[in-house]
Amino acid sequence: MKITLPDADIEYVSNFYNAEQASLLFNDLHQKLLWRHDDILMFGKQIKIPRLQAWYSDNDLSYRYSNMTLESQALTPILRQVQRKISEYSQHEFNAVLANLYRNQSDSVGWHSDDEIELGTNPVIASLSLGAERDFQLKHIKTKEKVTLALAPGSLLIMRGTTQHYWQHCIPKRSRNIMPRINLTFRKVLY
């Protein structure tokens, strides 16, 4: 399903993996990925990122964002299998994945665009959600229009074209209890 927004090319596939497949995949990744709890520099202070993360890629690609460099682990067989399925569906080649583990409702990621220079001019970002449903918010950089999408387990969100130029996105904290969620954001790192 296309999400119709100005200056964006966004597609949402609610059942990319069915409930059983998504649950098995969540459990496997939760147990086997090499999760890290990194620090980030904010307002001159080092603080813990409010989530766990893991970076996997082909060819030992590093990834830099927010003054932090992630050194790569080799793609696991299960990540490679998911990468192939998403690449086939999206007709786009990916060579890296940033995995985020949101342990509960207090874990989050703030407003940002996936616009790092190593992703190229109009990056394609394919985001697979597993585990608990979480709100994914989008905000237009100029008009400040906001949209909230509930990302179901097993769903795939693809952002293409100029989306990263005009829109920011986030996963906000919530007050109600939320079970863990894993998000896999596949991308192509150019250098």
Residue pLDDT, tens place only, 67-106: 778 889 999 999 999 999 999 999 999 999 999 999 999 9
Strand ranges (E), the chain: 2-3, 9-13, 39-42, 45-48, 52-57, 63-65, 68-70, 73-74, 96-102, 109-112, 125-131, 134-140, 146-151, 156-160, 167-171, 181-187
Within a 13 Å sphere around the CA of 147, how many CA atoms are in the beta-carbon half? 15
Give residue 16's pLDDT: 98
N-terminal to C-terminal alpha carbon distance within the chain:
32
Residue 139 and residue 119: Cα distance in Å, rounded?
Answer: 21
- pTM of this structure: 0.94
Residue 133 and residue 178: Cα distance in Å, rounded?
Answer: 8
Cβ atoms within 10 Å of 160's Cβ, excluding its own: 17
Distances (CA, A) of 171 to 32, 82, 90, 168, 190: 23, 22, 23, 11, 26
Decide if pLDDT at 14 tops 90. Answer: yes
The three-state secondary structure class of 54 is strand
Most distant CA atoms of the chain, gap in Å: 44
The three-state secondary structure class of 81 is helix
Q: Which residue has the higher pLDDT, 24 or 62?
A: 24
Mean pLDDT of 11-37: 97
34-51 tens-digit pLDDT: 999 998 877 788 889 999
Q: Report all structural domains of the chain as residue ranges with CATH numbers, in order of start.
A: 2-187 (2.60.120.590)
**Contact (CB, 8 A) for 164 and 122:** yes
Q: Which residue has the higher pLDDT, 35 or 65?
A: 35
